[in-house]
Amino acid sequence: MVSLDHALVFLGQDLFIKLVISAAVQSYYNQSGNGYSLCKGGLYHHAIGTAMIAEKVARLTNSTIPSIAYTAGLLHDIGKVVLDQYIAGAYPLLYREFQERSAEMIEVETKVLGMDHTRAGGLLAEKWSLPDPLTDAIRFHHRPEESRSDRSLTTIVYLADLLMSRFHSGLELERMGAAKLADRLASLDLSTTQFQTLVDLIPKKVFEPAIESVDTDQ
């Protein structure tokens, strides 16, 4: 049997930790049914893609530790697992609200369910005693300027989530606003002209039908 020490040497500590965290989170996301997910494994696929992009944006901006950005991206939508059981029954109303009002996800969730996934995720993160920066990234990734702990990390997760929802749609029920994109980019010393650079950071692996493993080279 390969020992833990051998595994760490073979894979590298960062990659090993990401594999372990990703596997643990996958089992949690897989508890979801057909509420938010628009395809099998949609929530997890979106989470992994967001994590991979967040890690790359963190490296580009040098504003937070890339491995922390990866973890925050992986966990950002964990509140959807909590609310997923209520989504299926409310789906027709949610869809109609999206179509008629073009509202952002958290607005529709609050109107229909009385709570949005960012608030549910934040409460779960507190229950799990996650560090404040991760809790903030989960709670405020739709409105990063409200982050009280690590605005850079939360903004990176917002950008990664936005990129996934705009350039790899069809995985889950989601709508993210971009009205404050310029200000949010500026908080990371980025401009709107550099947005294409962020798009180019999306790993090719994200567009595969399913992400089976963590690949930091793509």
Q: Which residues of 96-122 are buried (b: 16+ CB within 10 A; e: fewer)?
A: ebbeeeebbbbbbbbebbebbbbbbbb
The domain segmentation of the chain, as residue ranges, is 25-207
Average pLDDT over residues 101-129: 87
Instruction: Give the model's pLDDT for residue 81.
Output: 84
**Can you tell me the distance from the alpha carbon of 45 to that of 37, in angstroms, rounded to the nearest whole number?**
10
Q: Which residues, including other chains, have CB under 8 Å from residue 134's CB and lie 6 or more apart?
A: 68, 71, 72, 75, 125
Tell which residue, 93, 21, 87, has the closest CA to residue 51: 21
**Can you tell me the distance from the alpha carbon of 160 to that of 199, in angstroms, rounded to the nearest whole number?**
9
| pTM recorded for the entire structure | 0.80
Choose between 114 and 103: higher pLDDT: 114
The span from the first CA to the last CA of the chain, in angstroms, equals 30
Q: Out of 112-126, 138-152, 164-178, 190-204, pick the least confident.
A: 164-178
Choose between 34 and 65: higher pLDDT: 65
- The superfamily CATH assigns to domain 25-207 is Hypothetical protein af1432 (1.10.3210.10)
Q: Which residues pair with 37 in a beta bridge?
A: 172
Tell which residue, 17, 56, 24, 40, has the closest CA to residue 204: 56
Q: Which residues, including other chains, have CB under 8 Å from residue 75's CB and lie 6 or more apart?
A: 25, 47, 121, 125, 130, 134, 137, 138
| 18-60 confidence digits (pLDDT tens) | 665 666 666 666 665 566 665 566 788 888 899 999 999 999 9
Average model confidence (pLDDT) across the chain: 78
Token representation of residue 217: 């080279």
